[in-house]
Amino acid sequence: MAAFEFVEKIIGTDTVMLETGAGSSTVWFAERVKSIVSFETNKDWYHLVYHLIAEKELKNVDLRFDPTYPTQGPTNIKGPFDLAFIDGRGRVLSLIRIAEHIKPGGYIILDDSQRWEYSYAKPFFKERGWEVRDFIVPEKAMVTAWKRK
């Protein structure tokens, strides 16, 4: 199963999620889930995504411009979440800070997980009893999904 098919399988209209690194994925998720909180660091990109959300009249998105989340982690998050999609800046700290907000049976998905700077993540989650699943994405490298037990 491909990463995209896996994501489609685990989300639904009752899914509450969090995302770091807003973009077209924010809109795609918002059209399929109950609600999404999405963090973005780049002001111009934030405004672009904001207008995409407004244009599609999506009311279930809490889009947050927060240039500090890469160094301080996402703040003011109220879980539990069914899914967190980690992309954009600050992935290392985001993984650590968001893990405690994922409900049992929920997932964290890390984009570009093949990068050496994310190599600590597998032992971090393994030590905490999370299940791991890797996906090879053509022309993209790797996506990793962790499921909280």
DSSP 46-93: HHHHHHHHHHTT--SEEEEE-TTHHHH---S----EEEEEE-SS-HHH
Q: Which residues contact 26 (CB under 8 A, 6 or more apart)?
A: 19, 36, 38, 49, 52, 53, 61, 63
Render each residue's pLDDT in the chain as its tens digit; 149 residues. 588 899 999 999 999 999 999 999 999 999 999 999 999 999 999 999 999 999 999 999 999 999 999 999 899 998 899 999 999 888 989 999 999 999 999 999 999 999 888 888 989 999 999 999 999 877 667 999 999 99
CATH at residue 60 = 3.40.50.150
pLDDT in the model for residue 140: 63
DSSP 85-134: EE-SS-HHHHHHHHHTTEEEEEEEEEETTTSGGGTTHHHHHHHTT-EEEE
Tokens 């049976």, residue? Answer: 105
Global pTM value: 0.93
Q: How does DSSP classify residue 34?
A: S
Domain residue limits at 21: 3-147
pLDDT in the model for residue 3: 84
CA distance 25 to 96: 22
Task: Give the count of domains, the chain.
Answer: 1
